[in-house]
Amino acid sequence: MKFEKPVPVEWIASFINASLSGNKIGLVTGINELHKVREGDIVFVDHPKYYEKCLQSAATFIIINKETEIPDGKALLVVDDPFESYLKLVNHFRPFEPSMKMISDKSTVGKDTVIMPNSYIGNHVTIGNHCIIYPNVTIMDHCIIGDHVIIQPGTVIGSDAFYYNKKTNRDVHYKKMNSCGRVVIDDYVEIGAGCTIDRGVSDDTFIGAGTKIDNQVHIGHDTIIKSNCLLAAQVGIAGVVTLEENVVLWGQVGINKTLTIGKDAIVFAQSGVAGTLEGGKSYFGSPVDEARTKMKELVWVKRIPEIWENLNPRDQGV
Active site residues: 221
How many C-alpha atoms does 201 have within 13 Å on its Cβ side? 19
Burial tier of 155 (Cβ tally within 10 Å: 0-12, 13-18, 19+): buried
User: From CA 28, how far away is CA 256, in angstroms rounded?
Assistant: 32
Query: How distant, in Å, are the alpha carbons of 42, 286, 288, 294 from that of 298?
Result: 50, 12, 13, 6
C-alpha 100 chain-centroid distance? 27
Distance CA 86, CA 97 (A): 19
Question: What does the angle CA 116 – CA 119 – CA 120 come to, to the nearest 5 degrees?
Answer: 145
Any idea what the Cα angle at residue 310 is, between residues 304 and 311, rounded to 5°? 90
Residue 267, strand partner residues: 249, 283
Q: How many CA atoms lie within 13 A of 214 on its CB side?
A: 13
Burial bucket for residue 47 (CB in 10 Å: 0-12, 13-18, 19+) = exposed
Query: Which phi-psi region, left, alpha or beta, contains residue 40 (left: φ > 0; alpha: ψ -120 to 50)?
Result: left
